[in-house]
Amino acid sequence: MDADRGADAYAIGVWNEVDTLGVPVVKEPVQCRQVVWRQHHTPTSSIDRPDEVSLEPGTYFWSVAALLGDWHVAESGLAAFVVRTAP
């Protein structure tokens, strides 16, 4: 989907832990791994994960935000996905 309907780009983020309210978990600074990857100002609402970003098996959460300039004009909310090892 191309950016449209008032948005000129998208921001896509992936987190490895969130609390029950859907807010990324904040841990001790040394252990803080809440944001796994985030890409701002992509022209579409889908993007390939960069090779340098590896996802270990586990549960992750993603979201997409529509941007107008640097303003978030709409957000998808968090959705879970699971990375499994190959059989």
Q: Would 75 be classed as within a structural domain?
A: yes
Q: What are the tokens at 73?
A: 């004009």
Is 1 within the bounds of a domain?
Answer: no
Q: In this predicted structure, what is the pLDDT of residue 30? A: 32
Query: Residue 52: is its pLDDT beyond 80?
Result: yes
Give domain status of residue 3, yes or no.
no
pLDDT tens per residue across span 8-40: 888 888 878 655 455 554 443 333 346 788 887
Whole-structure pTM value: 0.65
Does a structural domain hold residue 22? yes
Name the residue range of residue 40's domain: 9-83
pLDDT at site 2 = 47
Residues 6+ away with beta carbon under 8 Å from 28? none
The per-residue pLDDT for range 57-75, each reduced to its tens digit, is 888 888 888 888 878 788 8
Q: Is residue 53 part of a domain?
A: yes
The number of folded domains in the chain is 1
**CA-CA-CA-CA torsion for 13, 54, 50, 86, nearest 10 degrees?**
-110
